[in-house]
Amino acid sequence: MTTDTIAGVTVSTKANVYFDGKCVSHNFTLADGTKKSVGVILPATLTFSTGAPEVMEGVSGACEYLLADTTEWKKSGAGEKFSVPGNASFQIRVSGQPYSYICHFG
């Protein structure tokens, strides 16, 4: 099931713009202090690095991802999640429709 709305949050209005605008997100904080971001990735193949572990939740569109130290690209779409370990890197590949996501940190 896809998360449609998130109530009771404080949103940072300054956008995080990565890779010449191919990925744009906004950070937000829940009432309990939990930090997340919501964003969109345009068609591209991008490499991200993590600090904390992350869970990527697809909202619309689809992507393929390749975790560090793996050789198999895996698909993830709307309503699906995938986990990325902390202090690692991963590649994400989007083609066609942009991929909208929620990133859950921690």
Q: Is 14 exposed, middle or buried (0-12, 13-18, 19+ CB in 10 A)?
A: exposed
44 - beta bridge partners?
94
Residue 41 has pLDDT above 90, yes or no: yes
Select the CATH number that applies to the domain covering 14-105 from these four: 3.30.450.40, 3.60.21.10, 3.20.20.140, 2.60.120.10: 2.60.120.10
pLDDT of residue 4: 83
**Amino acid, res. 93:** R
State if pTM tops 0.85: yes
Residue 1 has pLDDT above 80, yes or no: no
Q: What's the rounded Cα separation, in Å, for the pair 28 and 14? A: 11
CB-based contacts of 5: which residues, under 8 Å, 6+ apart?
A: none
Please state the domain extents for the chain.
Answer: 14-105
Percent of the chain with pLDDT over 70: 100
